[in-house]
Structure 1
Amino acid sequence: MTPEAILADLVACADLPGAPNARVAECVQAHLARAGAACAVLPGPEGDRVNLFATLGPREVPGYVLSGHMDVVPVEGQVWASDPFRLRADGGRLYGRGTTDMKGYLACMLAMVPEFLAMDLRRPIHLAFSYDEEIGCRGVGHMIARLPELCAPPLACIVGEPTDMQPVLSHKGKQALELVIEGRAAHSSQPDQGVNAIYPAAELLLFIRDLAAGLAAEGPFDARFSPPCSTVVAGVVQGGAAVNIIPDRCTVQMEVRSVPGQPPQAIGAQVLARLAELQGVRVSHRELSSYPALPPPEDRALAGLLERLTGKPALQSVSYGTEAGLFHAAGVPSIICGPGSISRAHRPDEFVTVAELAECCRVLRGLGQVAAG
């Protein structure tokens, strides 16, 4: 089948992060089976979501992992020109949720299976399909943990997030936290009878502001990123029910994005320490999402390979995060390269072009030829 036809099937599976993903997983499995490829189904600890892993070629020698996530972001609150979960072709563009982020890459992976199988591969090509990437790369770690039983240590991983098929070498790490402050409610005419949770939250917000300023002034710095320092931002504050009630609860959602070499948790820990110091209130927190940075490679072999296959120079870094950082942390050299533009991701009328899919298949075909030796 063509990547366009496969993409239509994938787009019709509106499986969102944080929810069961049986439809899209079964769709991927069906396309693999149709092409004659076996697939390992790897349930996650949630019990209603799975990762998928297929090997083409000899399992016992090191090979290449092509990796992409099956989940897509919601469409609520967006105005689309057509049904976002039904692929629409118009003038060489293919519209639908997830077309560029990143079911276009998945469709190319699946479309190339018959060609890969016909190449008599000396080194395997592994196809990795993950869940819950859009809410903090939560699923892929469970698959990575099982790689030793699935295959020989991989030579490299290509994560196909949309990069206009330009290889990307690195990105920052991230941690998102929700901080909860609980006081005691009372009538606003008797504030001394309550404990206002918003006031200590305000102290915490000022601490986050000052921490961000310190990072901007003192670093550490890495000029390969923009901005060149780690950042910390409070993005959501919620507290209070009515103006005449002393608020007994306030929550703050914040995120850290850190340069390689500075784990995001090290910055988040400073905020958590300040949270614990707040007086007269109960405090708690939970991690919303987290993934490590993808540091620039010390060995340019993988970058050189992708530059030759794509015909494009590698881009040093991007501002968004991917699952590549997790593969790297597990000892698998990783790079980001996929069809479509990140500027179209998560937006109404998201699209990928037929030409972009063809280019991706051309690059994957070249990788197969390398693996065939």
Structure 2
Amino acid sequence: MDVFDILDRLVAFPTVAGRPNGDIAGWIKTYLAEHRVQVTVLPGPEGDRSNLFATIGPADVPGYILSGHMDVVPASEPQWSSSPFALRKEGERLYGRGTTDMKGFLAAALAAVPALTGLRLAGPIHLAFSYDEEVGCRGVPHLIARLPELCAKPLGVIVGEPSGMRAVRGHKGKAAARVIVNGRSGHSSRPDLGLNAVHAMAYVLSAAVSEAERLTHGPFDAAFEPPYSSLQAGVVAGGHQVNIIPGTCTLDLEARAIPGVDPASLLAPVKARAEALAADGFRIEWRPMSAYPALSLPQDTALAALLGELTGDAPLAAVSYGTEAGLYQAAGLDAIICGPGDIDRAHKPNEYILASELTACQRVIEALGVRCAA
């Protein structure tokens, strides 16, 4: 199978984050087994989702991890011109959910397997495929925790998120949370008998807006756009109709932090303002939704130099989106981003990747194998 056949098979699995992924994991395991690659299936605590880890070459010496996620975002937008889970080719463009984010990278890595297994690798290349990245990098921490028993400490991790095959050394960290204000419903003609949760949430929302403004004044990191940490309220929901006192209101918010700043700490003032509402009789629920740390790989690391040589371009300092790379770095491993496709095509109807991007990625992975065989 070539890279296009493999991508066709991967896209056909509707692996929307938060759902079982046994079908795609099973197919990848079977494919690798056909090439005499041993795969370890690592079930997550959810019971219906698994990470995969495979090693080509000797597992007891340091090598490199190729990291990617098997899940995708939903594809319910009506603007799709064809089935999102059936690969459609139109010239250079290959359309389908996940083609860019990031089944294209998985396909390139899997397509490179025959070449890699044909080399006498002195250092291994590992495949680490995770689940539920799109809902807050929930799967990969379980995989990372198992690495010491699966392989020698890697020399580096290459996370294949779409970067136009230009290596990237940094991204911001993120924390997201949901706050639920529970008041007391009733008829709007008697506001004195109720507790209006929407009115109460206005104080929480005001705190979020104030914190967002404060963050624009620094600290700064010029590698990023914008060059400061940020906070935003993304979803507010509450009430049923205008003549009913709303008994519940929900707010989803997120913070994105430059390296050196804990993203969860940026939400703390908003959490404190929400919890203060308890003094007025409201019941408050604070539910963390997702979190991952920033990535900041120094320019002078061996991994950055290696990717510069393999791709022919000096690594970029940073990108605006987040990845699993920060979690690998937090675990003590050098990590860098480098994968096919353009992030601007991700999470949109008619997502696509270029055929030339897939083949370029496969060539870089095979070149990495030649380095590991030297």
TM-score (norm 1): 0.98
1:309-357 Cα distance to aligned partner (Å, 9 max, x none): 0112211111110000000100110000001111111111111111111
Q: Which residue of 2 aligns with 1:239?
A: 238
Q: Which residue of 2 aligns with 1:256?
A: 255
User: C-alpha distance in 2, partners of 1:81/1:207?
Assistant: 42
| Range with bigger deviation, 73-82 or 293-302 | 293-302
User: C-alpha distance in 2, partners of 1:268/1:177?
Assistant: 8
**Segments of 4+ in structure 1 off by > 4 A?**
none
Is this contact kept in 1: 2:203–2:273, CA < 8 A?
A: no
1:124-180 Cα distance to aligned partner (Å, 9 max, x none): 000011000010110000000000000001110000001010001100000111001
Aligned length, in residue pairs:
372
1:214-266 Cα distance to aligned partner (Å, 9 max, x none): 1112x211111111111010111111111111111111110000001001011
Q: RMSD in angstroms over aligned alpha carbons?
A: 1.0
Q: Which residue of 1 aligns with 2:346?
A: 345
Deviation at 1:121, TM superposition (A): 0.3
Is this contact kept in 1: 2:67–2:159, CA < 8 A?
A: yes
User: C-alpha distance in 2, partners of 1:228/1:350?
Assistant: 29
Q: Which residue of 2 aligns with 1:136?
A: 136
Q: Which residue of 2 aligns with 1:166?
A: 166
Q: Which residue of 2 aligns with 1:180?
A: 180
Verify: 1:27 aligned to 2:43, yes or no. no
Verify: 1:303 aligned to 2:287, yes or no. no
Alignment partner of 2:237: what SS? strand
Is this contact kept in 1: 2:94–2:354, CA < 8 A?
A: yes
Counterpart residue identity of residue 272, structure 2: A
| Range with bigger deviation, 83-92 or 252-261 | 83-92
User: C-alpha distance in 1, partners of 2:210/2:344?
Assistant: 31
User: C-alpha distance in 2, partners of 1:305/1:77?
Assistant: 40
What is the identity percentage for the equivalent residue pairs of Structure 1 and Structure 2? Answer: 55
Q: Which residue of 1 aligns with 2:61?
A: 61
Q: How is 1:1-373 mapped onto 2 (pairs within 5 angstroms)?
A: 1-217=1-217, 219-278=218-277, 279-280=279-280, 281-297=282-298, 299-373=300-374
Structure 1: gaps spanning 5 or more residues: none
Deviation at 1:298, TM superposition (A): 5.8
Structure 2: gaps spanning 5 or more residues: none
TM-score (norm 2): 0.98
Counterpart residue identity of residue 209, structure 1: V
